[in-house]
Structures are given as structure tokens and as C-alpha cells.
Amino acid sequence: MSEAADQIFATLKQSSQSGAPLYLQLRKSIEDAVNRGLIGPGDALPSERDIASKADISRVTVRKAVQDLVKGGILVQRHGSGTFVAPRMERVEQSLSRLTSFTEDMARRGMVVRSAWLDRGLYAPSPDEMMVLGLSSNELVARVARLRIANDTPLAIERAALSASVLPDPAGIGSSLYAALEMTGNRPVRAVQRISAANLGDDDARLLEVPPGIAGLHIERISYLASGKVIEFTRSIYRGDAYDFVAELRLSGPGEESRP
Ligand code: GLP
């Protein structure tokens, strides 16, 4: 690291750049060094004092640049041990044409899956849940909320709601909701998924171990049985730095209507 650091800071020292504030110039030099692979995930940054003296700038300026990069998820600070280049996330490429479960998706990639429970129980349904699941106000909804973790990296927060008549014991689903539904002949065969952009709030960011405010994906899945009955209403937040959703597109064939 120290050679690379010398290079980065020497460049910064010599460059007159655009007259931009010094902390922005330092931030950019460090960011460029990470992007160009001069310093890699897990590498330690020199101390604030070393950077300041190498780059001939004040420690306050260094602190400001480093804090910005920590907020942006480029660097991480570990209490007592210093500042490091953040670990790079292996992006997961997820097809949008198959109706699979989180457990199956990760197992196919050879990843070890686990979940941390955030909530599981039977509740009076919310107006949204009543509408989507077709419940009346005197019926109960089963809620299953989990932090989904693959290879020790938290990837998503999933909050599923199902009719209590389908899932009377939400605590008993084991590690896979779809496996539990399959056992009772209730595994969905079709789903409509809506994906939208979301900036992560403080609580979600803390669970997903990313800085608050960074980009995430809000995903809503409504799944159906072959009969057409809605079986699952799940709202999830996925880490934006971890997922690529991929859809195959085809030109519509002769006689097929091309709808928007
Ligand atoms: C995916 C879907 C969820 C679904 C979940 C089931 O992640 N987005 O809507 O509830 O899979 O996963 P599992 O069977 O691993 O619990």
C-alpha cells in the first residue's frame, strides 16, 4: 500500500487540478486509486497525519475527504484499527424470468444462505394486505420478515405477508418460505414483480451494513397459485451495490401484439 499511497499523494501534491477545494481533490485521488486498482479491498489507508504530510495539506482536509469516502461506501473505518478500502461486493446477476426463491438463487451460485428473523407472527392485516391478499378485517395475516444473508453478506430485507389460512404457523417455515409452501401444495407458479429505486433509510442501511442513503432496490412481488389466487405479497429492499436484475427481451413474433 505504501508505494501506491506515495504515488497517489505525490500526484495530488503536484497537480494544480481545477482549483477545486483540496478535500475534493484528495477524495478524487483516492477514489481514482481504488477504481484503477492501485489500492484494493481491505488495504489500509495511511494515518491521517501521514496523508496530511505526504500530500502537504491539513489534517482537517484529510478528515473531510476520508469522511466523504466512508459515507459513499468506498472506505470503511474500523474503530481502533484504522481506515480501509471497503470490501468489493460480488454482484449477483438475477434473471427476471424465473420464479425462484432466495434460497434456490443463492444455492445455484454455491453461496451459503442464512436468514436473521426480524419478525414472524399472526397479525390483523393492514389495508394493503387486505386488498392484495383478499382478506377481510376479521381474518389474520401471517408475516415473515427476514434479513437474507449469503456468504455472510446481508443482501436483502424481505417482508412477506400471506393469509394465515395458508401459513398458520409462520415461525415454523424453517429456512425457506417456498420450501414450506411447497410442502402444503401452495408454492406459487406465477408472480408479478415491481422494482423501483430507493435510498436506504437508517434502519435498513444498518441491517444491510451499508452507509445510510445509498442506492437500493425496492422490490414488490405478488405471487399466484395456478388457480389465480394470490398466495404471497412480499416487499423487499435489496442492496443496490449487490444486484443486477437481468431480463431477456425478444422482438414480438408475427401475430403477437406488442404492448407497452
Ligand atoms: C425471493 C422473493 C420473495 C420470496 C423468497 C422466498 O427472494 N423475492 O418474494 O418470498 O424468494 O425465499 P425462500 O424460499 O428462500 O424463503
Q: Counting runs of H as helices and runs of E as strands, what totals does the chain give?
A: 8, 10
**Residue found under cell 436473521:** 116
- Residues 136 and 124: their CA atoms lie apart, in Å, by 10
- Residues 223 and 108: their CA atoms lie apart, in Å, by 22
Q: Where in the chain is the domain with CATH 3.40.1410.10?
A: 92-246
Q: Which architecture does CATH list for 1-85?
A: Orthogonal Bundle (1.10)
Q: Where in the chain is the domain with CATH 1.10.10.10?
A: 1-85
For residues 174 and 180, is the Cβ–Cβ distance under 8 A? yes
What pTM, to 2 d.p., does this model score?
0.74
- Residues 217 and 203: their CA atoms lie apart, in Å, by 15
pLDDT at 259 over 60: no
pLDDT at 1 over 70: no
196 compared with 10, residue with greater pLDDT: 196
Question: Residue 158: what pLDDT?
Answer: 98
- Ligand 1 surroundings by CB, under 6 angstroms: 101-103, 158, 160, 176-179, 221, 232, 234, 236
Angle, CA 72 vertex, CA 66 and CA 76 arms, to 5°: 55
pLDDT at 236 over 80: yes
**Could you tell me the distance, in angstroms and rounded to a whole number, from the CA of residue 203 to the centre of ligand 1?**
21
For 92-246, CATH number out of 3.40.1410.10, 1.10.3720.10, 3.90.1150.10, 3.60.70.12 equals 3.40.1410.10
**Could you tell me the distance, in angstroms and rounded to a whole number, from the CA of residue 246 to the centre of ligand 1?**
17
Q: 21: helix, coil or strand?
A: coil
